[in-house]
Structure 1
Amino acid sequence: MPDLLQERSVKPQPVNADMKKPDQGLTVADFILKQLSSWGITRIYGVIGDANLLLLDAISRQRAIQYIPFLDENAAALAASADAKLNGGIGVVIGTSGPGLVNMLNGLGDAFADRAGVLAITGQVDAPKIGLHTKQYVQQQLTVTPLAAFSELLAHPDALPDLLQHCLVLSRLQGAVTHLSIPKLMFTEKVKGAVLPYSPHFHQTLLAPDKDVEEVFQLVAAARKPMLLVGGGISGAELETVMFAEEMGAAVAATMPAKHLFPHNHPLFVGGLGLAGSEATSILMRESDLIIILGATWWPEEYTPQGANIIQIDAARENIGMGHLLVRGLVGDLRDLMPRLAKLAKRSAKNEEAQAAWKRRISEARSEWTERLEQETSQEGSPMAPQRIMRDLADMIPADAIIAVDTGDHTIWFNRVFSNHGQRILLSGRWRTLGFALPAAIAAKHACSERPVVAIAGDGGVVQTIMELRTAAAQGLALILVVINNNAYAIEKNRMELTGLSTIGSTLDNPDFVLLAEALGGKGYRATSSAELRKCMEEAFHSERPVLIDVSASSPTVPHSKI
């Protein structure tokens, strides 16, 4: 008779217990590159260091992904952030342990603040030395915590497939910063697991129910003075947005990253919003009885009406109602929603008398603003008024160009004056770091080599990353860097003077930027007048190497300035 107790002590194994994980014979480094490539990533920005040498060696043995070396990790991370902003995908940056990651943090901060999907991969000290007092060691997960939605140390090669997939999904779908830290010798260890390509379900359109769309439209149709605030979310639905605005007779303002998405010469367009925007926008917002926010999150309190009636439409539900109250929110992809709303608007009955009156008011506010800008931008003399510089640049930069704008008083004058004819704008929107423009321009030229690329920076910001002009020269990138040179941190200096503070630390003793450009392998020009600037720009667009144009500028106080 069988021993029942013995039989019961033998526990059955799970059905698939003997199945082995897929094994493609890839090392950690090779697996990373295969996985990134399967997600359509074609560029990695980075700086060499002791803890990422084995990854760099793997990069050198493949052709699917280009490695773009920078001189500083901050600039490399800014370039990755700009790449993600430009393409709506994932920017990838690599660095070494300790100071490599710490130098990278500012660029990751830019991606974090603007919700640009960036994956940072940093080497770490040898596994047996983690947590010990050894060179270039820092607990990287704690270091990056304020900026990264996910950060993990790779403790075993077989964990890589799941960890890397998780990072890619978060960065791609949520515009998050993610981070993997990998002990330096683990890059050569073999991984068990399969490369998982980018799946179509990740970009499946988010559809809103007809009932909700109809209800939102009825609220818009009832408004007598509607206004649209458009952001980057309308990309892909630009024509339908114009149609909707025309049918509803709505004034239109745009956030700075969305400047290229609505025609500036359209009679309903009234400019930007905020300190760098137009007075016409703030005035009409105050008079409007319904503001419809389309794919935008910019809502500066000092330039927007309190208690306004607001409808907000966005694909990211967490964006809706951020910083203001709502009449109604609607979650959906604007590429799907704007054609539906435009069709409803075309079919709807109109209050022609109210619409005509509101259009006259829009025209009046727009004309007053245009007249004011004409006075500001017609100034002659040397050094040049920044308003005149921006008008001249608007006249000369081709419509298909990409413009990377740094942070400073020139950013405000740019948004206030620059009439966009389709040029794509890259900027450090919420982080507002100095030094953004040149690394962003390098990324843009790699991503869109056939398009003209212009970086606009102040003298206070450009010095933060100007050594990367050598990076551009070494990589044969024909981009233009315009330096607005007023020998000061102008915003800070003017605000200090306005409030009677000492101006200590606000003036600059700049190097000769023209000579510096030549030393870094570029071409340098100097412009002190409108005619000289135009001549320099014409020559720069024919150059086969990077060009720096040092423009002598005045530093008038920006309207509404205060501490």
Structure 2
Amino acid sequence: MSPVTLTDAAAPPVLADKNQPTADLSVSQFLLEQLKAWKVERIYGVIGDANLSLLDELGKQNAIRYVACRHESAAALMASAEAKLTGRTAVCLATSGPGVTNMLNGLADAAMDRAPVLALSGQVETAKIGTRTKQYVDQQKLNAAIAGKSELVTHADALPELMEQALVRGLLQGQVTHLSIPKDLYSVKVKGEIKPYSAHLHQPLAAPDNEIAELAALLASAERPVLYIGRGVKQTAEDVLRLAEKLSAAVITTLPARPLFPNDHECYAGGLGQAGSEASSVLLSESDLIVMLGATWWPDDYVPTQARIVQVDWNREAIGLGHPLYKGVVGDLGQIVPKLAAAEHLSAKDRGAWRTRVREVCTGWKRQIEAEARADGTPIPPQRVMKTIADHVSDQAIVAVDTGDHTLWFNRIFQAKAGQDILISGRWRTLGFALPAAIAAKLCYPDRQVIAVAGDGGVVQTLMEFQTAAGLRLPIVLVVLNNGAYAMEQDRMNVAGMNLIGSALRPPDFAAIAEACGGSGYRASSAAEFEQSLRQALTGSKPALLDVRTAAAPVPHTKI
């Protein structure tokens, strides 16, 4: 190419004759290669007419495992659970029309809990987009309320940039992203190169030293501090413990963060909200400084208005959202909390009276729940079920908890250990979360014990995924609390004097369904039977379901 002078206005751009680099891959191949470069290990999905070509390519390689699910919602819930558990991008797949529509519930779970999930869906042929052809729907409109970014791939050469945008945005902002791919594009060659994951995407966000110093000064001046921690402190849990002890602070956790602080510590006050503890509400009402570390859950009925609230989070958009704010600090908790814990002047103030008060309240609370957990009878009190699970699962167990009455009992009674993980449908609170989440957890960590806890009303939403677990030979344990009702709703209706229509259930034979699906089924109507069955199930080599006849005991503070 001849040299171009700056005065030659008619000259073309200097790279005009340079061919765009190409990996010589089809859309299907490029998509999989790009996911491999980002260390994606699994795609959860359901087969359909508009994704057959992609499945064909998936079957020709071994780097990415395809997990064939029974329902698209469950596939998306599995991806959501994987993203929550690992912090990495997870992927789910559906076909056009009803396939992508079914997937929405699981994607909403990921979106509400800021889990980076990439949804891929087939679409009708490009020539039929916008027509009355079968299974056509405007998928971008359909996903608009859920996905942070949803795009239709209209040309093969647009795929590299669209995938890069989706992967980066999902991982950095904790968003659901979505790509629709017309089925006639899968075989078309792509111009463009695979973009590897870059380490700069996870460089720590450093808070200014003066902000940390101001926060330390606030802590040092507090007479009755409370630390409220969420799953954002996972990488710095030991420093949180040091900080709490230095401040003589009461510690409250969100449900997923329970394993991140010793549940038997004298300063641990349990959870927050109806599913939490009375102790947390008492101590919050007496506190003069509440420090939120990596937590966003803020139930108005259970939190105070008198205390100064300080919030520390990497996500600036979450700070001050839905509650008063005295001071916000944006930054990586792994950088900020160790600096706070190392500050010597935090323990200079005499907080002996507060330490005594915290110990008194927390000790009283623990006595109360221990007494509840010893309750016996037939059907089994739900408190006893949760205590038995806590006593028998391993110190490294992953516990997936469904949505319902049992969720409240779990958070009230279950005493978590440091090596455990708890998975929930946090803000979306969909029924049917636990079983798909347990499947994803076992695939991610095959050497860890995985148990799912669900109610009889919720488990039926995704129960056929038990067959998925059996086909994959995953020895997970599913505990179903069977009280014959949508208990949370029924209790609220009772309190309000409402007609109970729609709240009663006639559950199927869950143990028989488990056996029919290729797993093990157990039934228990007493605490002794449940303990024996749980022991057997936890040592089995295939998925097991425990149908536990449970008393319908209203959770404290139930209201409409």
Same fold (TM over 0.5): yes
Among candidates 328, 352, 359, match of residue 363 of structure 1: 359
Contact 1:43 1:65 in 2 (8 A): yes
The corresponding residue for 1:125 is 124
**SS, match of residue 298 in structure 1:** coil
- Tell me, yes or no, if the aligned pair for 1:518 and 1:524 is still in contact at 8 Å: yes
Instruction: Tell me the C-alpha RMSD between the 2 structures.
Output: 1.1
Q: Deviations over 1:85-143 (max 9, x none)?
A: 00011110001000000000000110111111110000000111111111110010000
**Secondary structure at 2:257's aligned position in 1?**
helix
Deviation at 1:348, TM superposition (A): 4.4
State the SS of the aligned residue for 2:178: strand
| 1:147-546 correspondence runs (5 A) | 147-344=146-343, 346-348=344-346, 350-352=348-350, 355-422=351-418, 423-546=420-543
Distance 2:345 2:326 in 1: 24
Question: TM-score, normalised to structure 2's length?
Answer: 0.98
Write the letter of the residue equivalent to 2:409: W
Partner of 2:34: 35
Amino acid at match of 1:451: R
| One-letter amino acid of the counterpart of residue 340, structure 2 | L
How far off is 1:553 after superposition?
Answer: 0.1
Contact map agreement 2:288 2:306 (CA 8 A) in 1:
no
Letter in 2 for 1:351: K
Structure 2 match to 1:88: 87
Letter in 2 for 1:449: P
**Matches of 1:202 and 1:408, distance apart in 2:** 37
How far apart are the structure 1 equivalents of 2:295 and 2:457?
29
Residues 47-126 of structure 1 mapped to structure 2, 5 A cutoff? 47-126=46-125
C-alpha contact 2:403 2:429 (8 A) present in aligned 1: yes
Report if the CA contact (8 A) 1:54-1:185 is conserved: no
3-state DSSP of counterpart to 1:425: strand
Q: Matches of 1:403 and 1:238 in 2, distance apart? A: 19
Q: Does structure 1 retain, via aligned residues, the 8 Å contact 2:243–2:341?
A: yes
Separation of aligned partners in 1, 2:204 and 2:9: 51
8 Å contact kept, 2:166–2:178: yes
SS in 1 for 2:76: helix
Aligned residue-pair number: 553
Contiguous gaps of at least 5 residues in structure 1: 1-7
Residues 474-496 of structure 1, C-alpha deviation per residue, up to 9 Å, x if partnerless?
01100000000000000111111
Give the letter aligned to residue 542 of structure 1: T
CA–CA separation in structure 2 for the residues paired with 1:133 and 1:183: 15
C-alpha separation between the residues in 2 aligned to 1:432 and 1:21? Answer: 46
Aligned to 1:561: 558
Conserved in 2, the CA contact under 8 Å of 1:264 and 1:421?
yes
Deviations 1:244-267 (A, max 9, x none): 111111100000111111110111
CA shift, 1:307, in A, is: 4.0
1:529 and 1:509 mapped to 2: Cα distance?
20
Partner residue of 1:3?
A: none
SS in 2 for 1:185: coil
Q: Secondary structure at the match of 1:178?
A: strand
Kept in 2, the 8 Å contact 1:307–1:325? The answer is no
CA-CA distance at 1:349 after TM superposition? 5.3
> Match for residue 5 of structure 1?
none
User: What is the identity, as a one-letter code, of the residue corresponding to 2:243?
Assistant: F
Query: Deviation of residue 308 (structure 1)?
Result: 2.5
> What is the distance in 2 between the residues matched to 1:255 and 1:541?
27
Distance 2:230 2:208 in 1: 22
Q: 2:247, 2:347 within 8 Å by CA — same for their partners in 1? A: no
Q: Deviations over 1:30-77 (max 9, x none)?
A: 111111111111111000000000000011111111111101000000
In structure 2, distance between residues paired with 1:258 and 1:9: 64
Q: Matches of 1:241 and 1:185 in 2, distance apart?
A: 53
In structure 2, what is the Cα distance between the partners aligned to 1:347 and 1:327?
Answer: 21
Say which SS state the counterpart of residue 256 (structure 1) adopts.
coil
Paired residues of 1:150 and 1:179 also in contact (CA < 8 A): yes
CA distance in 2, matches of 1:109, 1:347: 45
**Corresponding letter in the other structure for 1:100:** G
Question: Take 1:83 and 1:435, find their aligned partners in 2: how far apart are those partners?
Answer: 16
Percent of matched pairs sharing the same residue: 52
Pairing 1:133-144 to 2, within 5 Å after superposition: 133-144=132-143
State the shift of 1:347 in Å: 4.7
Tell me which amino acid in the other structure corresponds to 1:61.
Answer: K
Aligned mates of 2:382, 2:413 — CA distance in 1: 9
Range that drifts further, 45-54 or 360-369: 360-369
| 2:4 match | none
Q: For 1:128-163, what per-residue CA distance to the aligned partner results, in whole angstroms no more than 9, with x for missing partners?
A: 111111111001000010000100100100000000
1:221-249 Cα offsets, whole Å, 9 max, x none, are: 00000000000111110111100111111
Q: Which runs of 5+ in 2 are unaligned?
A: 1-6
Q: Given the two structures, how large is their TM-score scaled by the length of structure 1?
A: 0.97
Q: Deviations over 1:262-307 (max 9, x none)?
A: 1101111110000100000011001000000000001110000124
Change (3 A) 1:22 1:436: same
| 1:9 to partner: Cα distance | 11
Matched, 1:548 2:517: no
